[in-house]
Structures are given as structure tokens and as C-alpha cells.
Amino acid sequence: MHAFFQHLIDSVTVGSLYAVMGLSIALVFGIMRLVNFAQGDLVMVGAYGSAVFSHSPWILTLIIVLVVPIAFALIIERVAFRPVRMASDSTLLVTSFAVSYLLESLVLLFLSATPRGVNLAPALGHSFQVAGLFVPWLDVATVSSTFVLLLALSWFLSKTRTGVFMRAAAEDFTTARLMGVRANRIIAVAFAISGLLTGVTAYLTVSKTGQVYPTMGINLLLVAFVATTIGGLGSLSGAVLGGYILGAITIFIRAYFPAQLANFTQAFTYLIVIAILVYRPQGLLTSRTNRTRV
Amino acid sequence: MIEINNLCVSYRKVPALVDVSISVGQGELIGLIGPNGAGKSTLVKAIAGLVKPTSGKILFDGINLRGKYPEDIARLGVSFVPEGRHIFQSLSVAENLSLGYASGRGYDEASHEAVLDQFPALRRYYNDSAAGLSGGEQQQLALARALLAKPKLLILDEPSLGLAPLVIESLFSTLQKLRTEGVTILLVEQNASRTIAISDRTYILGGGRIRSEGTAEQLLSRKDMIDVYLGKRS
């Protein structure tokens, strides 16, 4: 029983990371009908920001890690996606792959391919004990910052005018524009928020792994993409739910699988994912939005 | 107010509008009728910026609307209520109404209340999901949302489509009331006789061209014209 709760803590922590990353994908998808595969590389870019500024005061490092992905998200939107916004979905998808390779190549060109060690937040490396359970401070930071982000995002989307316009645009972009909602602005806001979410992901990931390398975002992106698909692509609460479900599946399979099958834990994780999608192809929570794009 | 000169629109080289010229003056209620496929929706979509004309001019208060984004046209004071109403189903009634302020008009309590007073159903379901509204109530919501923008020109694309006869009755009386309040309206309708009756002037569109234009008396004296383009049922 004791071990079970220890795994539960792990799965909530991992699930939080997936949820935040999943949200950043779902937010852009909701508005643009674009799965931005460069989102993982925004995590990488933010992580490199932390590596370059790792010896600065922690608050400055944190700000850098949050601001760099936001800036890159806005630049990508303006330079890469806006010119092809009216093109077909597959054009947008290919563009996102191109941006992804470009960001990785830039890092290879100006920095290096070898992983760098970064000790971001040494204070978060400690843990405390409660009822016999070990709780790393980093886990507390991960889960609590996720909750703060979720609360802030839902407040923004339901209580602010821009948030309501974003939800309207996600449902029916053309009608929102006919009402006077500025397409460019609403899409830029969506990219900025998703940049912030990837920045948080970057900070927490680097704090956990202590490493940055050019392809570090790819795996995270795939996992988050799977999470949003389980939850129902386009639905924000679905992305969060999918993140936590995927986190739990991953941790518990790793924990309770026979040791001789250890190499196949990932295969079994995705077997369960496939089973969920066979049962509900549209995802667990489906968005009511219709499939219109800008 | 709005002056359209020799407007041509083609969909992949198939002409939808050919040399269409219409004008709507300040405070007028102008009808636009014609059979299915006549190009009525294309014309108003071109004004709203949803369809790109191949040639011609759309002058709104002297500004050429051609090539402008839909949101910029809305911000200039053109409110377009599209066919099928396009209520945001995932938003509440209140949130749908807040879209009326997206075109840059500031919220002002008195006029907000005045609009709500015209549509009591919206006040009743103010904080409920808009998805639960009936067809007539959704049309009221779409109309209220457009009016909150205090439009200089209100364009309605087939507002009576799919509504029950009694609801259509109240819709048309609302439109007449708006006209007396000085709202400039361009009304696209299938319901020909009704539209001719309440409009200052009505354009008849057929096969992408303006076939006739005039006041109720002028058009009704040319009954043959209406029969040809709209069929006897109307």
C-alpha cells in the first residue's frame, strides 16, 4: 500500500507535466486546427535559455526560461504560420515540422550537439517525508505550478473578454471575425500562452533531468500529443485529463511490471493507449467545436 | 452609406455575380430577394469580406471595402448576421452577447439593457448555454449580438430561414421597429412578398444579375417579374 502511494505521487507529477505540455498543443490546435510539432522544440529552446543563464540568480533564470519560448512562439507564428494560415491542414503540418528541424539545427549550429548538464534549482532537489512517503520538493513545485496554471487559464478563458473571444474563435473562427475579433491578435495570444506553458514545462523538465540537448523536446511532444489525443483533440480539459491518465499508465506499468519485461513497458503503455482509442476514437472528452479553420 | 458598383464575383471561373450595382442610403431598409443560387448570399458575403470580388467597387462611407479583412469591415460598422445564425454553441448567452463588443464599441449599460429589453428570452436565459435556445431565440440572440455593436449597417442573410410562421411574424415586426429607430438594414430573404412589403426598396437578383429594383408599388405592378424570378408561391 505504501509503495502504491509513492507511485501515485510520481504519476500525478508526471501527469502534471504531460497535462501542461498537452494544453500547449491543444490551445493552438483549438484555434488553428494545427498540431504544432515545433512545440517540443520550444521546450528545448527554453531549456537552452536556462543553460546559458544557469549561473544567474534563480529568478532571472526562471524569467528567461519562461520568456524565451513565448518570444519564439510569437516569432514562429508571425514568420512561419501566418503566411500559410489559409493553406491546407497538411501544409501547416509540414511547416511545423520544418520549424522543428530549423530550431534544432540552429542550436546545433550556434551551441553544440552534446548534452549539457544544468543544475537549475538545487533547492528543489531535496525531499521531505510525510507519513513514511518521500516527497521531492520538485514534485510539489510541479503539481502546484500546474494547478496554478490550470486555474489561471480557466479564469482567463471564462472571465476575460479576450478569453471569451478565443473560445468563440475556437468554435467558429469565421463568425468570430465577422463580429470583429481580430484573427491575428487572437492567434498570437494563443501562441503566447502556449509558449508560456512550454516554458513552465522546460523549467520543470530541466530541473528534473538536469540535462539539455537539441532533441530533448521530441519525446515530450509525442507524449503530450498522445495525451491530447486520448483526451480528445481540441478539448482543453481533455488534454489535461489525457495527461494525467497517460502519466498514471506510464508510472504504474513501470512499477508493477515483472522485471524481465522491463524493456517493454513503453510498448504496453501504448497498447493501453490504443485500447482507449479503439473504445473511444474521438477521445474521452470531445470538443463541441466544428472543424473550421481561419 | 453603401454603394456597390459593377461588382463581379466568380467561384473558380464560374460567375456568381455579374455587374451588380446596388446602393443603401442612411436609414433605409433595403430588401434583396431572388431564387436559390441567384447570388444573394454571395453579394452580402462580398460586402462582409468573406468572398473576394474579381472586379467592381464596394464603397462604405467612401471607404473601399474590397480586400479588407472581415474583422476590419466589422470594425468600420458593418454588422453581418450570417445565414444559419452561427450562435457560439459552447458559450453562454451572455458570452455570445459579449461578442457584440468585439468590433470595438465600448460596453455601455443603458444601450445593453435597451437591446435586452427587445428580446426578453435572452434575459431569461442570460447565463445559460446558448445551445439550449430554440431556433427563434437563437435568431434573437444573433440579432441582439449584432445590434450591440451599434452598426451603421446591419446585414441579415435569410433571417427567417427555418423559423416557425409566428416567429417569422415577430422577426419582421422587429425589423420594422429597428427601421423606425433609424438602423440602416440590408435584408436578404427568400420570403419575397413580406420583404417587398416592409422594405423601402427591394432588389431582385436572378442568375447573378440585378433583374429589377423598386418600391413595393413599383414591383407589385410588375407581378410578371416576380412570378418569373421567384415562382408563384411567394
Residues 6+ away with beta carbon under 8 Å from A205: A17, A43, A47, A216, A220
Tracing cell 480557466 back to the chain, one arrives at A154
Mean local confidence (pLDDT), B201-218: 87
User: Is the CB of residue B220 less than 8 Å away from at least one CB of chain A?
Assistant: no
Contact between B149 and A180 using a beta-carbon 8 Å cutoff: yes
Grid cell for residue B226: 416576380
β-sheet bridge partners, residue B79: B154
pLDDT in the model for residue A263: 79
pLDDT at A16 over 80: yes
Q: Which of A213, A199, A206 is nearest to A138 (CA)?
A: A206
User: Is the CB of residue A180 less than 8 Å away from at least one CB of chain B?
Assistant: yes
Taking the CA of residue B210 and the nearest CA in chain A, the distance in Å comes to: 26
pTM across the whole model: 0.89
Percent of chain B with pLDDT over 70: 95
Of A253 and A176, more confident: A176
User: Is the CB of residue B94 less than 8 Å away from at least one CB of chain A?
Assistant: no
Of A115 and B46, more confident: B46
Mean local confidence (pLDDT), A108-119: 82
Q: What count of other Cβ atoms lies within 10 Å of the Cβ of residue A270?
A: 14
Mean local confidence (pLDDT), A106-110: 87
Domain boundaries, chain A: 15-216
pLDDT in the model for residue B231: 60
pLDDT in the model for residue A135: 85
pLDDT in the model for residue A282: 82
Mean local confidence (pLDDT), A212-227: 90
Does residue A23 contact residue A195 with C-beta atoms inside 8 Å?
no
- pLDDT by residue (tens digit) across B16-70? 999 999 999 999 999 999 888 888 999 999 999 999 999 999 999 999 999 899 9
pLDDT in the model for residue A82: 92
Average pLDDT, chain A: 88
Q: Looking at beta carbons, which residues of chain B come within 8 Å of A161?
A: 98, 101
Residues 6+ away with beta carbon under 8 Å from A58: A120, A121
The nearest alpha carbon in chain B to A172 belongs to B88
pLDDT at B145 over 60: yes
pLDDT in the model for residue A291: 44
Full DSSP string of A245-262? HHHHHHHHHHHHS-GGGG
| ipTM score | 0.90
Mean local confidence (pLDDT), B171-179: 90
pLDDT in the model for residue A2: 80
Mean local confidence (pLDDT), B209-214: 86
pLDDT in the model for residue B143: 92
The nearest alpha carbon in chain A to B94 belongs to A164
Structural domains in chain B, sorted by start: 1-77+153-164+178-234 (3.40.50.300), 87-151 (no CATH)
pLDDT in the model for residue A269: 83
Of B50, B99, B101, the CB nearest to A176: B99
pLDDT at A70 over 70: yes
Percent of chain A with pLDDT over 90: 49
- pLDDT by residue (tens digit) across B149-160? 999 999 999 998
Average pLDDT, chain B: 89
State the pLDDT confidence band at B225, using cuts at 50, 70 and 90. Answer: low
User: Is the CB of residue B67 less than 8 Å away from at least one CB of chain A?
Assistant: no
pLDDT at B234 over 50: no
Residues 6+ away with beta carbon under 8 Å from B193: B234
Contact between B82 and A178 using a beta-carbon 8 Å cutoff: yes
- Residues of B (141-170) whose Cβ lies below 8 Å from A: 145, 149
pLDDT in the model for residue A293: 43
- pLDDT by residue (tens digit) across A146-155? 999 999 999 9
Residue of A167, A178, A237, A289 for testing the chain B interface, max B β-carbons within 10 Å:
A178
- pLDDT by residue (tens digit) across A177-186? 999 999 999 9
